[in-house]
Amino acid sequence: MNIDYSPEEQAFRADVRAFLAQHLPEDIRRKVLDGKRTVRDDFLRWQRILFDHGWGGPYWPKEYGGTGWNQTEVSIFEDECVEAGAPGLISFGQKMLAPVLMAFGTPEQKAQHLPRILRGEDFWCQGYSEPGSGSDLASLKTKAERVGDKYIVNGQKSWTTQAHFADWIFCLVRTASEGRPQQGISFLLINMKSPGVSVRPIIMLDGEHEVNEVFFDNVEVPAANLVGEENKGWSCAKFLLSHERTGLNLVAFSKLMMRRLHRIAREESANGEALIRDFRFRDRLAQCEMELMAHEMTLMRTLAVMAKSGAPGPEASILKIRGTEICQALFELTLYAAGPEALADMPEALDPDWQGEPVGAAYTPMAAGDYFNMRKLSIFGGSNEIQRNIVAQRVLGL
């Protein structure tokens, strides 16, 4: 397999790099590269800048206002954005909901929501997991009862990432209890400003507020906000999850982590020794680097298949497993490299206006907090155990 970039692709990379150098706001870039806390406006401001340049939809076809880039160009764009310190695009709208609306949405739903996602006017979050219904989505209990031209929604969603930023939430809800559990699920779009919607923060081990509980108390939702057919939302859910899992390949981010680790390992400590001279650390670093190279090749093959078929298959599960495990291994090595300084509890260092010295050579003020936070990677988007079951059934035929 030839993974060398063509002259045209190399020219495209140069164009992306030049655009980022000119248009990425310095305050946002410094936040991202220094591991500072990013907020809603950072994401939306960057989305509006991309939109003004015609790059608001790097993953979308031209017919919906996207760039129409091929998968290699998208991969180059992501690589350069991560390296430059651009905030990640709001994946819930860009990468998850948008493909569902393009495949299952009505013309009215597409006209209402896709342009606002593209222009950075709406922030979306995902309402899938519930207490007791994490990886087993089919057991969800949030209920939507049809009354005339609207649904009345009652229930709770948990671990809802960035719900405190969100204007809208796309939800899996139960609209019937007969038959197989998957057959009674529907896919609803709910305005977070609707009466009866409330958000309660969940503070994580690193002391940060990233995830939330979302409660629905007799929330009225127009029936026009139903995506696809009633009781057949499981098809939308599976379609969305395949795109989410492909996005969890984490190749670009892991390559950035790898470069940081190499810099850390070559810095001399107080006793004059560089960590790279520790053969045990060097062996673990080399192992991660080889696995990451192989993982990137798998991603490129998968993207080539998607360019023809339009949707990922069971390869998405393989990418999710390997991508999250490699990324977790890199965070573990970063924790090891930071040494005792990784234990520092400095949440104030995540504030953009904090002027203190960075902690150690780990290029992050909270190496331990980052390590604990990234344990989630092998759980969300469908746990890695479930992904292995999918591979066993759909690839190995077990």
CA–CA separation, 342 and 362 (whole Å): 8
- C-beta separation of 89 from 60 below 8 A: no
CA–CA separation, 371 and 369 (whole Å): 5
Active site residues: 244
Could you list the beta-strand ranges (E) of the chain: 124-127, 143-147, 150-157, 168-174, 185-191, 197-203, 209-222, 226-227
Residue type, 281: F
CA–CA separation, 172 and 315 (whole Å): 24
How do beta strands 150-157 and 185-191 pair? Answer: unpaired
- Tokens representing 213 are 């509980």
Q: Count CB atoms within 10 A of the CB of residue 250.
A: 26
Backbone angles phi, psi at 355, to 5 degrees: -110, 5
Backbone angles phi, psi at 30, to 5 degrees: -65, -40
Reduced 3-state DSSP string for 87-114: CCCCHHHHHHHHHHHHHHCCHHHHHHHH
Instruction: Identify the residue whose tokens are 């206006």.
Output: 353
- Tokens representing 64 are 């919906």
CA–CA separation, 175 and 231 (whole Å): 6
Length of the chain: 398
CA–CA separation, 337 and 371 (whole Å): 12
